[in-house]
Amino acid sequence: MKILVCISKTPDTTAKIAFKNGNTQFEESGVQWILNPYDEWYALVRAIELKEKDASTTLHLVMAGGADADPIIRKALALGGDEAIRVNATKLQDSFYVASQIAAVAKTGGYDLIFTGKETIDYNGSSIGAMVAELLDLPYISLATKFEINGNTATVTREIEGGEEVNEVPVPLVVSCQKGMAEARIPNMRGIMSARTKPLKVVEPVEADELTSISSFELPPPKAGVKMISPDNMAELVRLLHEEAKVI
The mean pLDDT of the chain is 92
The domain spans of the chain are: 2-220
The pTM is what?
Answer: 0.86
- The span from the CA of 122 to the CA of 7, in Å, is 13
Q: What are phi and psi of 244, to 5 degrees?
A: -105, -55
Quick check: 78 and 194 in contact, CB under 8 A?
Answer: yes
Q: What is the pLDDT of residues 39-72, one digit of tens each?
A: 999 999 999 999 999 989 999 999 999 999 999 9
Q: How confident is the model at residue 24 (pLDDT cuts 50, 70, 90)?
A: confident
Torsion of CA 183, 145, 70, 105, to 10 degrees: 140
- The span from the CA of 31 to the CA of 12, in Å, is 8
What single letter denotes the amino acid at residue 26? F
Q: What is the pLDDT of residues 145-186, one digit of tens each?
A: 999 999 999 999 998 888 999 999 999 999 999 999 998 887
Per-residue model confidence (pLDDT) at position 192: 80
Sheet containing 153-160: order of strands: 163-170, 153-160, 140-150, 173-177, 113-117, 2-6, 58-64, 83-87, 200-203
Q: How confident is the model at residue 90 (pLDDT cuts 50, 70, 90)?
A: confident
- The span from the CA of 28 to the CA of 215, in Å, is 18
Q: What are phi and psi of 207, to 5 degrees?
A: -70, 130
| 187 has pLDDT over 80 | no
* CATH class of the region 2-220: alpha beta
Rounded (to 5) percent helix, strand, coil in the chain:
30, 25, 45
DSSP characters for 5-61?
EE--EEE-TTPPP-EETTTTEE--TTPPEEE-HIIIIIIIHHHHHHHHH-TT-EEEE
| 194 has pLDDT over 90 | no
> Running DSSP on this structure, what letter comes out for residue 245?
S
